[in-house]
Amino acid sequence: AELEEDELKNTETNGTEDASSNDNNIE
């Protein structure tokens, strides 16, 4: 269960980073 939670956190973090990168590209 702990590993699954870590994976979810990593996915959320990566998603946020991707969104930020996309925003920067749009700007």
The pLDDT of residue 26: 58
**pTM higher than 0.85:** no
Per-residue pLDDT reduced to its tens digit, 6-15: 766 666 555 5
The pLDDT of residue 14: 55
Alpha helices for 1-27 (secondary structure H) = 2-26
The yes-or-no verdict on residue 4 having pLDDT over 60 is: yes
Report the mean per-residue pLDDT for the chain.
61
**Tokens (6 digits) for 16:** 């946020």
The pLDDT of residue 22: 56
